[in-house]
């Protein structure tokens, strides 16, 4: 028998073939993954660039050149980060930084800017818009206005009037374009213009669907507003309307032609009469520290503000103290005492924390209803206790509900903190003859505060701005009828800010933003002091 030795160069063993195949597969998989990552990067950057390009066109059209430059620089920087080689940390950090800038820094900066303006109801646009709105709101039908046969046209969602003048000339215009002669109009048997090339003539059904838009449309008759506007009451005929206000751009005044009163631009963001009466809408201007000055010097605002601030501190402090005491008590009980079914009791204790807070507040509002609530009708045998309508009881109700909502959180964190304390310390204290109370007071509680104190500060800050509970349970009520601002007996600072900014006819965003800055300063100062004081506890470790 002849033995032959295989040539490894030409006849590799099966093991080497498998290794080579596996290596080739890994290379192919890595290449495929690299291509997929590259395509994903290109698609995502394409979306970002498309949004950036759209924003640039919109900002350029609006003339916001500062923001235009910031968006352009940010878009270019993002493309440079992701297309250059290396810089892996920057690629991971960029999305978070972008969202931080948009949703945190920008929101804070914009709120700070609004706090130094008079932005609010009646002061939310430019002076030119205010002048146009005033002239339009003061329009009345001219006594001897001719009647114009009217056809309502639409082009790309913009309504236009097509009328037939007394001389038979067809004229058209819209809210921005004064009435002007047109050619090529289609006419009916009576010679009335009924259509125009490039426009859609609205039928009766379409006019009914857009009735408010049609009756609210004013088409200038000429370039001078004094010539009047063309308006329609029914979409079939138009009349000339003139304004009872006359604007003098050179003098910066608005004159009421019926009374002769002259309203001047006094720098307050509205045309103001000599007796102080203002014509609204006005326009947005910078007012400096006026909102802050009003908050602390105007008694009609300062009184409610001080009352709400005091209640906010009481609410936050009592909420933190009560939830901490109850949570700590239950944590000690379930940690030190042996009982049957302890894990089920623990599970039951955290159920209030498992349900959404706003939903729980709504349930409690139903339970505390004076006429139909479960508490009055069942537990109290048909009593009529005004839990949510009496100023004092409403505050007590809020504290009770917040205790029910908050103690499970404190129970969880205190349980974890107690279980992290070494058992040898308790054994040593017991051997030294210390009582259970002395062991808890002198050993466990100080060590517990090391980890719990920062959470107590965070809980205070949360309750200081606990908008959901106040809004869902009492909506800040009962309302104080004597307050100059929209505020109730149970409003805290954040709910008061919400009402000033978004509830009622007189919404004052500037004042609300000033209050927001005050809240931020208060919480920041208290948190800084609290964290500074907790440093002394670190020595216990």
Helix axes 493-502, 509-534, angle to 10 degrees: 160
* Residues 38, 329: Cα–Cα separation, whole Å: 57
**Domain match, 73 and 164 both:** no
132 and 87, same domain (yes or no): no
| Alpha carbon 268 to chain centroid, angstroms | 27
Distance, CA of 512 to CA of 518 (rounded, Å): 10
Residues 101 and 148 in one domain: no
**107 in a structural domain:** yes
Q: What is the pLDDT of residue 8?
A: 47
Contact between 273 and 265 (Cβ < 8 Å): no
pLDDT at position 405 is 94
- Kindly report the pTM of this predicted structure: 0.78
| Other CB atoms within 10 Å distance of the CB of residue 513 | 24
The answer to the question of residue 453 being in a domain is yes
Residue in the block written with tokens 């859609």: 200
Q: Are residues 109 and 222 in the same domain?
A: no
Question: Long-range CB contacts (< 8 A, 24+ apart) of 252-259?
Answer: 254/131, 254/134, 254/279
- The reply to whether 74 and 149 lie within a common domain is no
Among 58, 90, 114, residue at a domain's last position:
114
Residues composing the chain: 541
> 407 burial class (0-12, 13-18, 19+ CB within 10 angstroms)?
buried
Residues whose CB is less than 8 angstroms from the CB of residue 476 and which lie 6 or more positions away in sequence, other chains included: 470, 487, 488, 489, 490, 491, 495, 496, 499
Output the tens digit of pLDDT for each of the chain's 541 residues.
455 555 544 555 566 666 666 676 666 666 666 677 778 878 888 888 999 999 999 989 888 888 899 999 999 999 898 888 888 888 889 989 988 988 889 888 999 999 999 999 889 899 989 998 898 888 888 888 888 999 999 999 899 999 988 888 999 999 889 999 999 999 988 888 999 999 999 998 999 999 999 998 989 888 777 778 899 988 889 999 988 898 888 898 999 988 999 999 998 899 999 998 999 999 999 999 999 999 889 888 888 889 999 999 999 999 999 999 999 999 988 887 777 777 888 888 888 888 888 889 999 999 999 889 999 999 998 889 999 999 999 999 999 999 999 999 999 999 999 888 888 887 888 888 888 888 888 888 888 888 898 899 999 999 999 999 999 999 998 887 777 678 899 999 999 999 999 988 889 999 999 999 999 999 889 888 887 877 655 555 5
Whether 381 is covered by a domain: the verdict is yes
CATH of the domain at 499: 1.10.3720.10
| Same domain as 522, residue 377 | yes
Is residue 7 a part of any domain in this protein? no
Asked if 508 and 390 sit in the same domain, the reply is: yes
Same domain, 415 and 509: yes
Q: Residue 387 and residue 400: Cα distance in Å, rounded?
A: 11
Regarding whether 93 and 56 lie in a shared domain, the answer is yes
- Torsion over CA of 353, 358, 360 and 366, rounded to 10 degrees? 170
Give the number of domains in the chain.
Answer: 3
**Complete edge-to-edge strand list for the sheet that includes strand 253-256:** 245-248, 253-256, 262-265, 271-272, 278-279
CA-nearest of 45, 64, 327 to 335 is: 327
Tokens of 208: 């009914």
Residues 101 and 153 reside in one and the same domain: no
Residue 67 counted as domain residue: yes
The Cβ-side half-sphere exposure at 442, using a 13 Å CA radius, reads 11
Using DSSP, state whether 236 is helix, strand or coil: coil
Residue 393: predicted pLDDT: 95
What does each C-alpha distance from 165 to 182, 233, 237 come to in angstroms?
11, 18, 12
Q: Does 6 reside within a domain?
A: no
Which residues, listed in sequence order, are joined to residue 363 by a DSSP beta bridge? Answer: none
Give the C-alpha separation, 197 to 144, whole Å: 32
CA nearest to 488, candidates 405, 346, 388: 388
Whole-number pLDDT of residue 301: 87
Greatest alpha-carbon pair distance for the chain in Å reads: 131
Same domain, 345 and 474: yes
Helix, strand or coil, per DSSP, at residue 84 = coil
**Domain interval for residue 55:** 26-114
The Cα 374–Cα 370 span in angstroms is 9
- The residue from 114, 147, 163 where one domain ends is 114
Contacts of 124 by beta carbon, 8 Å cutoff, 6+ apart: 281, 284, 509
CATH of the domain at 176: 2.40.430.10
Task: Evaluate whether residue 252 is within a structural domain.
Answer: no
Assess whether 103 and 133 both reside in one domain: no
Q: In terms of C-beta density within 10 A (0-12 exposed, 13-18 middle, 19 or more buried), how is residue 512 classed?
A: buried
Is the residue at 86 inside a domain? yes
| Spatial separation of the C-alpha atoms in residues 201 and 305, rounded to whole Å | 56
Q: Three-class SS of residue 157? A: coil
- Determine the pLDDT at residue 407: 94
What is the 8-class DSSP label of residue 147?
P
């Amino acid at each position: 028998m002849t033995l032959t030795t295989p040539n490894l160069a030409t006849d590799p063993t099966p093991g080497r073939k498998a290794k080579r195949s596996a290596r080739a597969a890994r290379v192919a998989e890595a290449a495929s993954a690299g291509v997929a990552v590259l395509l994903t990067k290109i698609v995502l950057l394409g979306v970002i660039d498309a949004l950036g390009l759209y924003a640039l066109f919109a900002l350029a059209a609006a003339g916001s050149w500062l923001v235009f430059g910031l968006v352009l620089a940010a878009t270019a920087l993002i493309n440079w980060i992701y297309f250059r080689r290396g810089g892996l940390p920057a690629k991971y950090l960029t999305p978070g930084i972008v969202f931080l800038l948009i949703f945190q820094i920008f929101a804070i900066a914009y709120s700070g800017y609004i706090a130094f303006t008079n932005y609010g109801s009646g002061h939310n646009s430019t002076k030119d818009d205010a002048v146009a709105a005033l002239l339009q709101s003061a329009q009345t039908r001219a006594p001897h206005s001719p009647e114009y046969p009217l056809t309502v046209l639409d082009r790309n969602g913009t309504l236009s009037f097509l009328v037939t003048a007394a001389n038979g000339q067809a004229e058209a215009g819209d809210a921005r374009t004064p009435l002007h002669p047109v050619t090529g109009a289609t006419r009916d048997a009576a010679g009335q213009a009924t259509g125009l090339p490039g426009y859609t003539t609205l039928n009766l059904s379409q006019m009914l669907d857009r009735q408010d838009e049609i009756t609210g449309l004013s088409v200038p008759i000429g370039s001078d507003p004094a010539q009047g506007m063309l308006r329609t009451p029914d979409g079939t005929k138009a009349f000339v309307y003139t304004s009872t206000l006359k604007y003098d751009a050179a003098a910066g005044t608005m004159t009421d032609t019926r009374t002769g009163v002259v309203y001047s631009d006094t720098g307050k963001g509205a045309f103001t009469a000599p007796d102080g009466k203002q014509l609204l809408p006005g326009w947005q201007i910078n007012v400096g520290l006026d909102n802050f000055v009003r908050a602390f010097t105007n008694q009609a605002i300062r009184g409610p503000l001080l009352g709400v601030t005091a209640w906010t501190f009481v609410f936050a402090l009592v909420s933190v103290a009560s939830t901490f005491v109850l949570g700590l008590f239950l944590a000690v009980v379930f940690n030190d005492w042996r009982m049957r079914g302890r894990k089920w009791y623990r599970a039951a204790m955290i159920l209030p924390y498992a349900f959404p807070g706003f939903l729980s507040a709504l349930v409690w509002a139903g339970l505390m209803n004076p006429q139909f609530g479960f508490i009055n009708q069942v537990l109290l045998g048909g009593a009529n206790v005004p839990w949510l309508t009496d100023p004092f009881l409403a505050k007590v109700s809020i504290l009770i509900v917040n205790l029910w909502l908050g103690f499970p959180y404190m129970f969880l964190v205190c349980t974890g903190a107690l279980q992290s304390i070494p058992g040898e310390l308790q054994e040593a204290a017991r051997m030294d003859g210390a009582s259970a109370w002395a062991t808890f007071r002198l050993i466990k509680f100080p060590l517990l505060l090391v980890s719990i104190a920062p959470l107590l500060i965070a809980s205070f800050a949360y309750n200081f701005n606990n908008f959901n509970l106040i809004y869902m349970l009492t909506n800040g009520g009962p309302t104080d009828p004597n307050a100059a601002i929209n505020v109730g007996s149970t409003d805290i600072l954040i709910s008061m800010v919400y009402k000033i900014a978004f509830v009622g006819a007189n919404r004052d965003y500037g004042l609300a933003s000033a209050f927001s800055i005050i809240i931020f300063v208060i919480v920041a100062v208290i948190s800084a002091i609290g964290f500074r004081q907790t440093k002394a506890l670190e020595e216990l470790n």
